Amino acid sequence: MLKIRGLGMAFGRGGRTVQALDGIDLDVDEGEFLCLVGPSGCGKTTLLRIVQGLVEPSAGRVEVFGHAVTGPTSDCGFVFQQDNLYPWRTVLGNVAFGLQLAGWEAGKAATRAREMIALVGLEGYEESLPVELSGGMRQRVNLARALAPDPKVLLMDEPFAALDALTRESMQRELLRIWQGSGKTVLFVTHQIDEAVVLADRVAVLSSRPGRLSGMFEIAINKDRDTAGDVKRTPEFHAAIDAIRDRIEPGSNGNPLRD
Ligand X SMILES: Nc1ncnc2c1ncn2[C@@H]1O[C@H](COP(=O)(O)OP(=O)(O)O)[C@@H](O)[C@H]1O
Site residues, ligand X (CB under 6 A): 11, 13, 18, 20, 38, 40-46, 209
Q: Which does 11 bind (CB under 5 to 8 A by kind): Mg ion, ligand X, none?
A: ligand X
Closest distance of CB 35 from ligand X, Å:
13
238 Cα distance to chain centroid: 23
Q: How far is the CB of 191 from ligand X (least distance, A)?
A: 8
**Out of Mg ion, ligand X, none, which partner does residue 159 contact, by CB within 5 to 8 A per kind?**
none
Burial class of 182 by CB neighbour count within 10 A (0 to 12, 13 to 18, 19+): middle
Q: Of ligand X, Mg ion, none, which one sits near residue 86, judging by CB under 5 to 8 A according to partner kind? A: none
Instruction: Please give the backbone phi and psi of residue 39, each rounded to the nearest 5 degrees, phi first.
Output: -65, 160
Q: Which is nearer to ligand X, 44 or 152 (CB)?
A: 44
Which is it for strands 2-13 and 59-64: parallel, antiparallel or unpaired?
Answer: antiparallel
Q: Choose the contact partner of 210 out of Mg ion, ligand X, none; CB within 5 to 8 A by kind.
A: none
Q: Whole-number minimum distance, CB 40 to Mg ion, in Å?
A: 7
Give the C-alpha distances (Å, rounded to integers) separating 94 from 88, 164, 170. 9, 24, 23
Q: Residue 120 CB, nearest distance to ligand X (Å)?
A: 25
Q: Nearest approach, Cβ of 199 to ligand X (angstroms)?
A: 18
**Residue (9 or 241) nearer to ligand X, CB:** 9
Strand partners, 155: 78, 187
H or E segment and range at residue 190: strand 185-190
User: Binds 40, which of Mg ion, ligand X, none (CB < 5 to 8 A, cut-off by type)?
Assistant: ligand X
When CB distances are held under 5 to 8 angstroms depending on the partner's kind, the choice from ligand X, Mg ion, none that residue 13 binds is ligand X
Identity of the residue, 80 or 97, whose beta carbon is nearer to ligand X in the bound complex: 80
Q: In 3-state terms, what secondary structure has residue 79?
A: strand
* Amino acid (one-letter) located at 78: F
- Contacts of 244 by beta carbon, 8 Å cutoff, 6+ apart: 37, 193, 196, 197, 203, 205, 215, 217
> Which is it for strands 67-68 and 76-79: parallel, antiparallel or unpaired?
unpaired
Min dist CB 41 to ligand X, Å, is 4
Q: How far is the CB of 54 from ligand X (least distance, A)?
A: 10
CB nearer to ligand X: give 125 or 188: 188
Q: Which is nearer to ligand X, 19 or 180 (CB)?
A: 19
The answer to whether the beta carbons of residues 38 and 211 sit under 8 Å apart is yes
Interacting residue ranges for Mg ion, rule: CB under 5 A: 44-45
Nearer to ligand X (CB atom), residue 8 or residue 77: 8
**Closer residue to ligand X in complex, CB, 5/209:** 209
How far apart CA 89 and CA 83 sit, in angstroms, is 13
